[in-house]
């Protein structure tokens, strides 16, 4: 069972579907309701346990295990936060390549980091508050001034934003990468593979979700409103989260009976922390009467009991639930042996309602658990082959106006099957957007028609096979509506494809099998030995266990003696074993050691048979492969004072040349490149020496150690970029 720990997890972000929960309370013989009694609540359509378990579930309380754990324990990984630009983050250091840069270099894709940022990173929030420092952001909301690499300005982004909604199911479904993989000269380390697997799980993942997502803050203006019993009011029913009865049935069925992990949103308010659930343990299971149950849920002592009408018994349950929290973004390891260090514990208390057959039919959270329990539970289904972070090209931006009940032709555009088309409309008044493939849309013939109030509507569609053109129209609802429609398309083959990432993962999991243990060896020596004569055998290289030697004298009047010694040839005075039995009695020795020597001494001349048995050491593993030269990219920002140097390197160039350049200069800064030693003002292989804040570049051919220097003719900032084939 998992070890209980209490870490402080990072906040995770999830763009997840969510569902509602409520609780249920009222005894079978409930009197007429009066003021002061809690209203009875039961689970509804959105938080039925059947959503996750189908009809093959166990609801009898006595048949549900008191503890359980997933057979496949989820792995720890990063949620690749938005404020760090998602998988564009150079987690291994500023001189390394990010997971997206490695994918682009290995598979020949241009512009991939920009596409990642536009969908998942800093550029995905264009309307966020502009900033240059953290002090310009809202610290109360946990914002940081997030900038793309090489940029001096950025946007204020809450640090919990990220792709935990993809990490959670990926960690539940996929095996954890075990070793680096090299493709086309680019090495993907374990953390790179985790990043790409996680990002790929953002799309193409059918899922089942139990309970609605609460999108309000826990407190403050516009936050959740609670009744006198500490439960969200009906208007905030999505924030009532998972019903306690549904929760107990799902957890005990999935982890206790089926041994399958699921995913939870640990926070009940607008933040979403998707975390894999590893296991659980029931620490209290006590049957209570209706009055006690009523008191536990917070009703006044004399209030009428308002439980589910079908409830005839009640159980007070306390549970410890183990969940996996994320590893540091810089953690590059196969963490299966350390997963206990990444296991957190939540503790929940609730009352369960049972019917006359002992089946759970509802429940209510108790004490702190009324607010501190999962917002929703969900499980991933079969992952489909998808492509994420594809290049998005704008096909058109069209402005127009449309009258009530009139049509306006926005346009038609050529598209390719498999591409994803986005048609986004905004404006004033109230107009409806219609999109269709193959021919113009009509009221009853369309592929997308949101029909929302106002003029802000979006259609996102994948181009079907056989279709080559998409049409967009608007139809007026208000007397006059002005609109702007933007049409863009995600180009297939320009992003990160799951089938490619899956192949990297499979190769990472293919660890060479250890050679089988060596088979025991045996040998038999037949020979003769004269009186006062020695016969020597060995050395025998021994792995595990001893070498066993058996000597049998074959002549009736002969007498041979057995001597065995580890590490050196035995003598009459030095040995580890000498039975000295005499005559034809068999002599046996068992001696351990790396090298064992065996000798036969003729006390009387005789023929003999020497039998040996030992286990040799295992075959030596081949030496680890030397690191292979690969395309290297360096990009970093720096600054120098006047008459100051900044030195970089050495960089090992194995073929071709090293190309370096400085750009984005705020003053007159000079570039120097030298092979073998750091450059100086007098010694260098390349120095453009251009006047003013002018970009400079150098290309120096050859192999060996290269150094790059930046000198401040005046104090200034710069961006240094370099590329070469070799070792970083």
Q: Please enumerate in sequence order all residues whose Cβ is within 8 A of that of 517, keeping only pairs 6 or more positions apart, or say none.
A: 618
Smallest CA-to-CA distance from 179 within 511, 489, 416 is with 511
Q: Strand (E) positions, 289-370?
A: 313-324, 343-354, 360-365
Lowest mean pLDDT among 22-26, 338-342, 375-379, 523-527: 22-26
521-614 matches 392-490 in CATH topology? yes
DSSP 337: G
pLDDT in tens, 289-303: 888 888 888 765 555
Give the burial string for 680-690 (b: 16+ CB within 10 Å, else e). eeeebbbbeee
**What confidence score (pLDDT) does residue 34 get?**
37
Rounded average pLDDT over 685-699: 92
> Which single residue is written with the structure tokens 């001597």?
563
**What confidence score (pLDDT) does residue 670 get?**
95
**What confidence score (pLDDT) does residue 229 get?**
59
**Percent of the residues in the chain that have a pLDDT greater than 90, as a whole number:** 63
**What confidence score (pLDDT) does residue 177 get?**
95
> Given a cut of 50, is residue 27 above it in pLDDT?
no
Lowest mean pLDDT among 143-147, 365-369, 545-549: 365-369
> Which single residue is written with the structure tokens 């992990």?
261
Phi, psi dihedrals of residue 631, rounded to the nearest 5°: -60, 130
> Given a cut of 70, is residue 22 above it in pLDDT?
no
Strand partners, 541: 595
- Given a contact cutoff of 8 angstroms between Cβ atoms, the answer to whether 484 and 417 are in contact is no
pLDDT in tens, 565-584: 999 999 999 999 999 988 88
539 cis-preceded (ω within 30 degrees of 0): yes
> Given a cut of 60, is residue 56 above it in pLDDT?
yes
Rounded average pLDDT over 50-68: 91
Collapsed DSSP state (helix, strand, coil) of residue 437 = strand
**What confidence score (pLDDT) does residue 40 get?**
52
Assign 205 a pLDDT band (cuts: 50, 70, 90). Answer: confident
**What confidence score (pLDDT) does residue 376 get?**
83
End-to-end CA distance of the chain: 43
> Given a cut of 80, is residue 482 above it in pLDDT?
yes
pLDDT in tens, 624-653: 666 667 788 888 888 999 999 999 988 888
- Given a contact cutoff of 8 angstroms between Cβ atoms, the answer to whether 714 and 667 are in contact is yes
Structure tokens at 90: 């150079």
Rounded average pLDDT over 588-615: 95
Pairwise pLDDT comparison (615 vs 728), residue with the higher score:
615
Assign 54 a pLDDT band (cuts: 50, 70, 90). Answer: confident
> Which single residue is written with the structure tokens 């499980």?
379
**What confidence score (pLDDT) does residue 185 get?**
87
Domain segments of the chain as ranges: 50-74+209-380, 82-160+169-207, 392-490, 521-614, 630-727
Return the CATH fold of 392-490.
Jelly Rolls (2.60.120)
Structure tokens at 703: 């192999």
Smallest CA-to-CA distance from 365 within 24, 10, 696 is with 24
**Percent of the residues in the chain that have a pLDDT greater than 70, as a whole number:** 88
Return the CATH fold of 82-160+169-207.
Herpes Virus-1 (3.30.40)
String of DSSP letters for 4-20: P----PPP-------B-
**What confidence score (pLDDT) does residue 48 get?**
84
Lowest mean pLDDT among 67-71, 80-84, 511-515, 621-625: 621-625
String of DSSP letters for 669-702: EEEEEEESS---SS--SB----SSS--EEEEEES
Lowest mean pLDDT among 35-49, 264-278, 488-502: 35-49
Give the burial string for 614-627 (b: 16+ CB within 10 Å, else e). bbeeeeeeeeeeee
Assign 32 a pLDDT band (cuts: 50, 70, 90). Answer: very low
CATH number of 630-727: 2.60.120.380
User: Burial level of 220, CB count in 10 A (0-12/13-18/19+)?
Assistant: exposed
Assign 30 a pLDDT band (cuts: 50, 70, 90). Answer: very low
- Given a contact cutoff of 8 angstroms between Cβ atoms, the answer to whether 491 and 393 are in contact is yes
> Given a cut of 90, is residue 390 above it in pLDDT?
yes
Strand partners, 459: 423
> Which single residue is written with the structure tokens 């596409």?
115
**What confidence score (pLDDT) does residue 11 get?**
32
Rounded average pLDDT over 277-306: 81
Structure tokens at 660: 């370096």
**What confidence score (pLDDT) does residue 237 get?**
62
pLDDT in tens, 85-137: 999 999 998 888 999 999 999 998 989 999 999 999 999 999 999 999 999 99
CATH number of 521-614: 2.60.120.380
- Given a contact cutoff of 8 angstroms between Cβ atoms, the answer to whether 504 and 195 are in contact is no
> Given a cut of 80, is residue 334 above it in pLDDT?
yes
Structure tokens at 202: 């953002």
Assign 371 a pLDDT band (cuts: 50, 70, 90). Answer: confident
Structure tokens at 6: 């209490």
Assign 714 a pLDDT band (cuts: 50, 70, 90). Answer: very high
| pLDDT, averaged across the chain | 86
> Given a cut of 60, is residue 716 above it in pLDDT?
yes
> Given a cut of 70, is residue 512 above it in pLDDT?
yes
Rounded average pLDDT over 132-158: 93
**What confidence score (pLDDT) does residue 2 get?**
44
Q: Which region, left, alpha or beta, applies to residue 119 given φ > 0 means left and ψ of -120 to 50 means alpha?
A: alpha
> Given a cut of 90, is residue 402 above it in pLDDT?
yes
């Amino acid at each position: 069972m998992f070890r209980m720990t209490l870490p402080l997890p990072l906040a995770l972000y999830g763009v997840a579907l969510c569902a509602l929960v409520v609780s249920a309370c009222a005894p079978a013989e409930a009197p007429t309701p009066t003021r002061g009694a809690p209203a009875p609540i039961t689970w509804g359509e959105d938080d039925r346990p059947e959503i996750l378990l189908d009809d093959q579930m166990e609801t009898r309380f006595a048949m549900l295990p008191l503890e359980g754990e997933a057979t496949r324990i989820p792995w720890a990984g990063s949620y690749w936060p938005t404020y760090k630009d998602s998988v564009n983050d150079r987690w291994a250091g500023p001189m390394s390549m990010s997971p997206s840069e490695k994918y682009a270099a290995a598979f020949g894709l241009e512009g991939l980091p920009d596409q990642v940022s536009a969908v998942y990173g800093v550029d995905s929030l264009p309307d966020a508050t502009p900033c240059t420092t953290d002090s310009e952001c809202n610290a109360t909301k946990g914002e940081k001034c997030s900038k793309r690499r090489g940029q001096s300005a950025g946007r204020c982004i809450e640090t919990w934003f990220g792709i935990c909604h993809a990490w959670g199911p990926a960690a539940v479904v996929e095996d954890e990468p075990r070793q680096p993989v090299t493709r086309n000269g680019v090495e993907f380390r374990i953390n790179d593979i985790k990043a790409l697997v996680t990002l790929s799980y953002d799309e193409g993942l059918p899922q089942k979700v139990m309970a609605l997502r609460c999108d309000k803050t826990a407190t403050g203006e516009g936050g959740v409103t609670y009744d006198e019993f500490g439960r969200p009011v009906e208007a905030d029913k999505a924030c009532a989260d998972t019903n306690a009865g549904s929760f107990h049935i799902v957890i005990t069925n999935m982890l206790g009976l089926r041994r399958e992990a699921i995913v939870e949103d640990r926070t009940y308010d607008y933040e979403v922390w998707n975390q894999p659930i590893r296991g659980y343990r029931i620490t209290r299971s006590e049957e209570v009467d209706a009055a006690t149950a009523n008191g536990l849920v917070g009703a006044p002592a004399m209030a009428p009991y308002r439980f589910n009408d079908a409830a005839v018994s009640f159980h007070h349950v306390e549970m410890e639930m183990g969940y996996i929290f994320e590893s540091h973004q810089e953690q590059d390891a196969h963490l299966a042996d350390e997963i206990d260090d990444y296991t957190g514990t939540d503790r929940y208390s609730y009352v369960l309602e049972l019917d006359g057959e002992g089946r759970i039919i509802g429940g209510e959270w108790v004490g702190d658990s009324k607010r501190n329990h999962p917002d929703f539970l969900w499980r991933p289904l079969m992952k489909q082959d998808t492509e994420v972070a594809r290049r998005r090209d704008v096909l058109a931006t069209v402005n127009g106006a449309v009258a009530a009940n009139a049509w306006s032709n926005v346009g038609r555009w050529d598209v390719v099957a498999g591409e994803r088309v986005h048609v986004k409309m905004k404006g004033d008044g109230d107009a409806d957007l219609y999109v269709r493939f193959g021919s113009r849309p009509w009221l009853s013939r369309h592929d997308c028609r949101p029909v929302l109030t106002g003029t802000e509507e979006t259609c996102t569609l994948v181009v079907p096979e056989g279709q080559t053109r998409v049409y967009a129209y608007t139809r007026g609802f208000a007397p006059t509506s002005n609109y702007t429609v933007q049409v863009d398309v995600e180009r297939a083959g320009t992003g990160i494809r799951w089938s490619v990432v899956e192949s990297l993962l499979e190769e990472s999991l293919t660890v060479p099998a250890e050679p089988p243990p060596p088979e025991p060896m045996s040998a038999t020596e037949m020979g003769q030995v004269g009186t006062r004569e020695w016969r020597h055998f060995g050395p025998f290289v021994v792995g595990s266990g001893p070498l066993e030697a058996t000597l049998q004298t074959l002549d009736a009047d002969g007498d041979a003696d057995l001597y065995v010694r580890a590490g050196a040839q035995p003598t009459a005075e030095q040995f580890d074993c000498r039975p000295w039995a005499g005559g034809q009695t068999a002599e046996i020795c068992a001696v351990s050691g790396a090298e064992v020597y065996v000798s036969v001494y003729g006390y009387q001349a005789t023929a003999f048979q020497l039998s040996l048995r030992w286990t040799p050491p295992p075959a030596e593993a081949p030496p680890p492969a030397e690191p292979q030269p690969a395309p290297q990219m360096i990009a970093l920002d720096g600054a120098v004072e006047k008459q100051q140097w900044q030195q970089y390197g050495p960089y090992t160039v194995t073929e071709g040349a090293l190309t370096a350049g400085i750009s984005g200069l705020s003053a007159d800064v000079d570039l120097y490149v030298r092979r073998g030693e750091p450059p100086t003002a007098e010694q260098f292989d390349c120095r453009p020496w251009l006047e003013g804040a002018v970009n400079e570049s150098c290309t120096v051919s050859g192999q060996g150690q290269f150094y790059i220097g930046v000198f401040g003719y005046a104090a200034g900032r710069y961006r240094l970029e370099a590329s070469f084939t070799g070792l970083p």
